[in-house]
Structure 1
Amino acid sequence: MKIKEIIVVEGKDDTVAIKRAVDADTIETNGSAVNKEVLERIKHAQEVRGVIVFTDPDYPGERIRKIVANAVPGCKHAFLPKNEAIAKTGKKIGVEHATPEAIRKALAEVKQEMEDVHSEIDFESLLDAGLIGGSKAKERREKLGVILKIGYTNGKQLYKRLQMFQISKEAFDDAIAVVLQGEKQSE
């Protein structure tokens, strides 16, 4: 599988994992200290070939994703569920620990970032679905992120990401139904 876009990853181990899974070029941010030089390379890559941001499904990875997305509008995003990015020791999480199959799947389900769009989903919908506040909100957001392939977010980020990727009200409602059905079955 050949990827046209340049994939933005956190480090060398991520590049090795990506290259095991697909034929692609990468730009490494070298962790969360994303400097201006790296951002300029990413901007140039976006202009020439396009960019896919593919960071770890953890807080530092989301921070890097946000920095890159703010500096380089219009990026594509690949998301790896946490359970597919856990090291064999069970202690570390990262793209470098994912199987080639999981990486290929995440890259096949890339989401395109859209700017200045208005979603049919409002903040009230998130409250009504129990995605903000409440004892099950975090768990529901995690499951929703996997179903919609938008990664894990906190409540505020979820609202922004639903808009950014133009998730329809219908897709949102269907995903929430699956999340709630799963809760009923586990009771």
Structure 2
Amino acid sequence: MVEKIRIEEMIVVEGKNDTLTLKRWFDCDTIETNGSAIPEVILERIALALERRGVIVFTDPDFPGEKVRKVIDQEVPGCAHAFLPKADATDHKKRKVGIEHAGFAALKAALNAARSSTMELPADFDPVPFSRLMEAGLIAGADAKKRREQVGELLGIGYNNSKQLVKRLEQFRISVEEFEVAMKQLEKEQNE
């Protein structure tokens, strides 16, 4: 029997199938939100877990998953977030998207890349200028949506619309240097 990888932080997932999938490969504890209408008692449990062990929010890469993530980020700031690319979480036969459809390698990569989010910007933080996002073709243009999706995956911050991208780059303290490395990687992949 292969020894499971231990995850110290509590992992917040949407449901039972997500928990079962994670426990198949990881020695971990989860908190299930059971949907996007998160009860106060669950938010309190997440806050306690954050205080005692740390929390990784790991929701499905879809609209309901993003809604859960936003509620938790607003109500319990400071949690780490893991993002799974939609391609790695899709069951093409059933046409469903969710953590429960992802394989070990994708889950491990997403959990390893989890990043903390915070709303307060440190005085010395230098955000990626909006003009650079425009120049990179991430705000407008025919391929902007696809490019944002690819950059989000490279940076480990998930898919974002134009407005979310600006916010997430700041929330997850993506430096100009990190952004430029991701853009070079994106250009390299597109030229291959």
Tell me if TM exceeds 0.5: yes
1:48 aligns with 2:55: no
Could you tell me the TM-score, scaled by structure 2's length? Answer: 0.91
1:12 aligns with 2:16: yes
Q: 1:71 aligns with which of 47, 71, 75?
A: 75
Partner residue in 2 for 1:155: 162
Contact persistence 2:84–2:158 (CA under 8 A): yes
Q: 1:168 aligns with which of 134, 151, 175?
A: 175
Q: Deviations over 1:121-157 (max 9, x none)?
A: 1222211111112111000001001111111111111
**SS in structure 2 of the partner of residue 4 of structure 1:** coil
Greater CA drift, 9-18 or 83-92: 83-92
Q: What stretches of structure 1 move > 4 A for 4+ residues in a row?
A: none
Contact persistence 2:148–2:161 (CA under 8 A): yes
Q: 2:109 aligns with which of 105, 110, 125?
A: 105
Greater CA drift, 101-110 or 131-140: 101-110
**Cα distance in 2 for residues equivalent to 1:23 and 1:182:** 34
**Cα distance in 1 for residues equivalent to 2:188 and 2:108:** 28
Partner residue in 1 for 2:28: 24
**Cα distance in 2 for residues equivalent to 1:6 and 1:182:** 34
**Cα distance in 1 for residues equivalent to 2:189 and 2:98:** 26
**SS in structure 2 of the partner of residue 38 of structure 1:** helix
- Identity across aligned pairs (percent)? 50
Aligned residues: 185
Residues 162 and 10 (structure 1 numbering): CA distance in 2 closer, same or farther, change over 3 Å? same
Contact persistence 2:10–2:56 (CA under 8 A): yes
Partner residue in 1 for 2:6: 2
Could you tell me the TM-score, scaled by structure 1's length? Answer: 0.93
Partner residue in 1 for 2:149: 142
Give unpaired runs (5+ residues) of structure 1: none
RMSD of aligned residue pairs (Cα, Å): 1.4
**SS in structure 2 of the partner of residue 171 of structure 1:** helix
| Residue identity in the other structure for 2:105 | E
